[in-house]
């Protein structure tokens, strides 16, 4: 069974703080996606990373893919209350071309 | 709106009843996926279709579950003889091809009483 571990599970911070969320596996990813999910809604795709060592930026969000393609991180700069939500990493593992395996998520709360 | 849509958004049913959910994917997407998400967990894969063919089913999909995509467009997921353990959010996603990104609908929240 291929598992994705996310840490931390919960994070409560104040507006303006920075944070990093991690996603790790013992297996190699063929690609990795980061999603954000709000209560009662489906996950919304933020980014896809494919190449080992890749870094992508989306406004205040920076996504990094590990060189060995077994880990990824999401860094948020100057968090805002609108960043509140459940952050999920999801991967297609090598040899499983179709389905996504999701991590358990990091629940982020940003307060004023 | 041309995203993935799901109906109903919420369903409350009594144990033992049958329920059916519908998913309409993004129109040009040939792949459609069903996932289930329980409280505090990430979504878990149930099954997927390429056009009208169901190509993979998870061990999570017991005999009480059946999914169809008769014309390669919308899909339905039916649960027969519902159990309390079936209570979850059922999510549908679609993609264009096997390696492209999956886009999710808003989900159907099922509560079995």
Q: Do A99 and B45 touch (CB under 8 A)?
A: yes
> Which residues in chain B have Cβ-Cβ distances shorter than 8 Å to A100?
33, 35, 43, 45, 93, 102
pLDDT at B99: 67
Report the residue from A42, A98, A105 with minimal CB separation from B107.
A42
Which whole number is the average pLDDT over B61-70? 94
pLDDT band, very low/low/confident/very high, at A94 (cuts 50, 70, 90): low
Which whole number is the average pLDDT over B99-112? 92
More confident residue, B91 or A99: B91
What mean pLDDT is reported for chain A? 92
Q: Do B42 and A105 touch (CB under 8 A)?
A: yes
More confident residue, B5 or B72: B5
Taking the CA of residue A58 as centre, how many other CA atoms within 13 Å lie in the half-sphere pointing to its CB? 14
pLDDT at A35: 97
d(CA B8, CA B65): 17
pLDDT at A2: 63
- In this structure, of A12-16, A49-53, B45-49, the range with the lowest mean pLDDT score is A49-53
pLDDT band, very low/low/confident/very high, at A97 (cuts 50, 70, 90): low
Query: pLDDT (tens digit, 9 = 90+) per residue, A75-88?
Result: 999 999 999 999 99
d(CA A96, CA B45): 12
**B41 to chain A: nearest residue by CA?**
A104
Q: What is the C-alpha R_g of chain A?
A: 13
Q: Which of B43, B45, B51 to mutate to test the interface with A (most CBs of A within 10 A)?
A: B43
Closest of B67, B96, B11, B6 to residue A41, by C-alpha: B6
């Amino acid at each position: 069974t291929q598992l994705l571990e996310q840490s931390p599970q919960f994070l409560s911070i104040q507006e303006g703080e920075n944070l990093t969320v991690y996603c790790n596996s013992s297996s190699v990813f063929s690609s990795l996606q980061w999603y954000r999910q709000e209560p009662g809604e489906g996950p919304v795709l933020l980014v896809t990373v494919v190449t080992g060592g890749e870094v992508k930026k989306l406004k205040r969000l920076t996504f990094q893919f590990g060189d060995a393609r077994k880990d990824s991180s999401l860094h948020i700069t100057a968090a805002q209350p609108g960043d509140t939500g459940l952050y999920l990493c999801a991967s297609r593992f090598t040899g499983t071309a179709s389905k996504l395996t999701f991590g358990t998520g990091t629940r982020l709360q940003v307060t004023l | 709106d041309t995203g993935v849509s799901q109906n109903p958004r919420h369903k409350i049913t009594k144990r033992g009843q049958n329920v059916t959910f519908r998913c309409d994917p993004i129109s040009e997407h040939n792949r459609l996926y069903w996932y289930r998400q329980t409280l505090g967990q990430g979504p878990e894969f149930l099954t997927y279709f390429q056009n009208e063919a169901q190509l993979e089913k998870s061990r999570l999909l017991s005999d009480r579950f059946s999914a169809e995509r008769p014309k390669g467009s919308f899909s339905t997921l039916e649960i027969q003889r519902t159990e309390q353990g079936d209570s979850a959010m059922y999510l549908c996603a679609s993609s264009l091809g096997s390696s492209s990104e999956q886009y999710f609908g808003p989900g159907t929240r099922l509560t079995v009483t």
